[in-house]
Each structure stands twice: as structure tokens, then as C-alpha cells.
């Protein structure tokens, strides 16, 4: 069974760590007991990692790796089945002129677009095996998260039933900022259970923190720990609908939480920066940060993703320049 489809028991690790029930009071004591973030030190580390260069011989590998880690995304109110089919076609064949171009990790769409993505992928759909292209669906009243729990769970279950391999949920930022950690924890646990398939396996759950609304690095660290304790398979920076979205310091901070969790439990949790990463130059900074913080083992689709819509085009142009020595015209890549 792959990392994506393994059966997990929500709450189990948290129950062991708390040695008893996970109450709001226990969560508050635990999360508020986490040491504060040295903001200056964090930003200096991120800046240092962002200035590191890679050898020209490694650039082709880096560009291909970026493609393999992309969740190719369309999350617009004007999305149509036709646009989703076009997105899937690009996911399957990013560069028709170069068959050596790798495929992306997943396509990410709204829940009602999942059936069209699954149908368009056909035999290329991984169905949770990581051997093809996954279908990720945003859920839980994305992007605001403002809905009843019943609506959020129905949203999630419907996407999973339609064939989604991955669910990108949003936390209730209002509840989190008000200190209602137990409510946020219980919602993640419930959404994780809604990811359960009939065969007992689970769709992969990515928990979106919406770091641009959390205001402080301390809150990002606490929300990361909370999301992992509740059963998230990934922690994700942003919806892409709020500014700032992904930043290198925030992603570094989340990677450090994942590193510390792995040291504590042996479990590997994924990280997904999303929103604002538009160039291969920026994406390479994230690859370096991942490798230096948690190790190159994390540079795999089940442990790291880029949430992006325009990044792929820039990477394709860079790959083409490495092959021919010059940039192609604007018509070399598709708009979507």
C-alpha cells in the first residue's frame, strides 16, 4: 500500500502523546507551550537558503523535479468541464514537443469538477497509487471555510466518492485565532474520517492553514502542529486567494515542524506551499530549502508539492532554453 492510500487512524498519535483525551484545555497547554519563533533568525535562514545556487548540470534535474511536484490547479468561479479537460491534457502532456517531459503530480480542482478530471485522465489517473496523476479537490467551503461542519463533511465525502485521491481542506481561522483549538482539531479529525473510502483506505488530506491570515510565525507553528496532531497528511500554506500566500520563511518554518515531528514519531508529513510561486527560479529556492531542512527524501510527490497554475509554463520555457539555447516565443506554452 502506498503512502497515499495507507489506512490511518485519526487521533491515534495525538492520543498517545497526550496520554488521554484530546481536550481543548490539553491542546491549549501543549500548543502554547511550544517555544516562540525567532522571527529574525527564521528570515535570515530563509534568505540564506534562497541565495544558494545549483550547478548547471543539476538544473535539468531541478526543473524536472519541480514539474513532478506540481499540483496543476484551476480554482476559479468560471471553471467549466472544458477548462478542466484542457488542464488535464496539459497535466498528461506538459510539452508536446518533448516527450521526455515528466508529468505533474496532480490536478487540483473544485469538488464538482472531480468527475470531469477523473474521466479526462482515464488510464493516467493514479487512483491513489502515485503511479499516475492524482486528482485533488478543495473542500470544506474553500477558501473561507465558513460553513457548518455538516456541509464541510458532505463536501469532502462527495469529492472522495467522485474519485478524488486528495482533499485540500481549510481550517477555521476564526476559531483558531480565538483560541478554540479543540474545535479546529475536531474538524480536521472529522474531515479525515470523511476521506475514508469504502475499502477502508483514506484519500490524502492536505490541511490549508491560510498563513496570510494567521498574523504571526508563532501561530503558523501552532497551526502546523495542531494539523499534524489531528491527522493531516500534508500541511499547506495557503488557498492562493489571500495575500501573502506562500513565502519562503513560512514554508521553512512548516518544514522545521515536519522535521521535528519526524524526529519525535518517525512519521513523515508532507508540505505544500501554494500561491505566488510563479518562476522556476523561485521554485528552485524551495527545493533547496526542502533538501537542507528535511532532506532530499522529501522531494517526492507524496511528501512535497507546489500548488501552482502558472509555474509550469515558466519551467517548460526554461527546459526548452536548456535544450536549444534560446527562449521560445509566447506561443510555445499554453495559457492555462
Burial class of residue 149 in the structure, from the number of CB atoms within 10 Å of its CB (0-12 exposed, 13-18 middle, 19+ buried):
middle
pLDDT tops 90 at residue 333: no
Residue pLDDT, tens place only, 194-209 = 999 999 999 999 999 9
Does residue 48 lie within any of the structural domains? yes
Residue pLDDT, tens place only, 91-117 = 999 999 999 999 999 999 999 999 999
Does residue 6 lie within any of the structural domains? no
Check if 268 is active-site: no
Report the alpha-carbon distance of residue 62 to residue 52 in Å, rounded: 13
Contacts of 205 (CB under 8 A, 6+ apart): 166, 167, 169, 188, 191, 192, 195, 231, 232, 233, 234
Check if 152 is active-site: no
Q: Please give the pLDDT value at position 163.
A: 97
Q: From the candidates 236, 282, 285, 314, give the one annotated as an active-site residue.
A: 236
N residues, the chain:
336
Please, are residues 192 and 230 in contact by the beta-carbon 8 Å criterion? yes
Q: Which domain holds residue 301?
A: 12-332
Residue pLDDT, tens place only, 229-283 = 999 999 999 999 999 999 999 999 999 999 999 999 899 999 999 999 999 999 9
Does residue 3 lie within any of the structural domains? no
Does residue 2 lie within any of the structural domains? no
Does residue 256 lie within any of the structural domains? yes
Does residue 230 lie within any of the structural domains? yes
pTM, 2 dp: 0.93
Q: From the candidates 130, 155, 168, 314, give the one annotated as an active-site residue.
A: 168
Does residue 156 lie within any of the structural domains? yes
Does residue 1 lie within any of the structural domains? no
Q: From the candidates 152, 192, 268, 272, give the one annotated as an active-site residue.
A: 272
Check if 236 is active-site: yes
Cα of 223 vs its chain's centroid, Å: 15
pLDDT tops 60 at residue 60: yes
Counting the structural domains of the chain, the total is: 1
Q: Please give the pLDDT value at position 7.
A: 40
Distance (Å) of CA 65 to CA 61, 188, 287, 308, 316:
6, 30, 9, 14, 12
| Domain of residue 281, CATH code | 3.20.20.70
186 closest CA partner among 238, 229, 237: 229
Q: Any idea what DSSP says for residue 83? A: H
Amino acid at each position: 500500500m502506498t503512502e497515499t492510500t495507507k489506512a490511518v487512524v485519526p487521533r491515534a498519535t495525538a492520543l498517545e502523546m497526550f496520554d488521554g483525551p484530546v481536550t481543548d484545555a490539553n491542546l491549549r497547554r501543549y500548543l502554547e507551550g511550544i517555544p516562540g519563533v525567532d522571527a529574525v533568525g527564521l528570515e535570515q535562514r530563509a534568505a540564506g537558503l534562497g541565495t544558494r545556487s545549483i550547478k548547471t548540470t543539476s538544473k535539468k534535474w531541478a526543473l524536472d523535479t519541480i514539474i513532478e511536484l506540481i499540483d496543476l490547479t484551476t480554482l476559479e468561479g468560471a471553471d467549466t468541464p472544458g477548462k478542466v479537460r484542457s488542464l488535464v491534457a496539459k497535466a498528461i502532456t506538459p510539452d508536446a514537443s518533448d516527450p521526455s517531459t515528466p508529468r505533474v503530480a496532480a490536478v487540483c480542482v473544485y469538488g464538482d469538477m472531480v468527475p470531469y478530471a477523473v474521466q479526462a485522465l482515464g488510464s493516467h489517473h493514479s487512483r491513489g497509487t502515485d503511479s499516475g496523476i492524482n486528482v485533488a479537490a478543495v473542500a470544506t467551503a474553500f477558501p473561507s471555510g465558513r460553513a457548518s461542519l455538516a456541509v464541510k463533511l458532505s463536501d469532502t465525502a462527495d469529492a472522495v466518492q467522485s474519485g478524488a485521491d486528495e482533499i485540500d481542506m481549510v481550517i477555521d481561522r476564526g476559531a483558531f485565532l480565538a483560541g478554540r483549538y479543540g474545535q479546529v482539531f475536531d474538524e480536521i479529525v472529522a474531515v479525515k474520517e470523511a476521506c475514508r473510502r469504502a475499502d477502508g483506505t483514506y484519500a490524502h488530506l492536505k490541511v490549508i492553514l491560510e498563513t496570510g491570515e494567521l498574523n504571526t510565525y508563532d501561530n503558523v507553528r501552532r497551526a502546523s502542529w495542531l494539523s499534524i496532531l489531528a491527522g493531516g497528511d500534508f500541511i499547506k500554506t495557503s488557498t492562493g486567494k489571500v495575500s501573502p500566500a506562500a513565502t519562503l520563511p513560512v514554508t521553512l518554518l512548516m518544514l522545521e515542524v515536519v522535521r521535528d515531528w519526524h524526529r519525535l514519531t518517525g512519521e513523515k508529513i508532507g508540505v505544500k506551499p501554494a500561491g505566488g510561486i510563479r518562476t522556476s527560479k523561485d521554485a528552485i529556492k524551495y527545493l533547496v530549502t526542502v533538501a537542507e531542512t528535511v532532506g532530499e527524501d522529501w522531494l517526492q510527490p507524496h511528501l512535497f508539492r507546489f500548488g501552482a497554475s502558472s509555474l509550469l509554463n515558466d519551467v517548460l520555457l526554461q527546459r526548452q532554453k536548456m535544450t536549444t539555447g534560446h527562449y521560445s516565443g509566447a506561443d510555445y506554452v499554453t495559457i492555462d
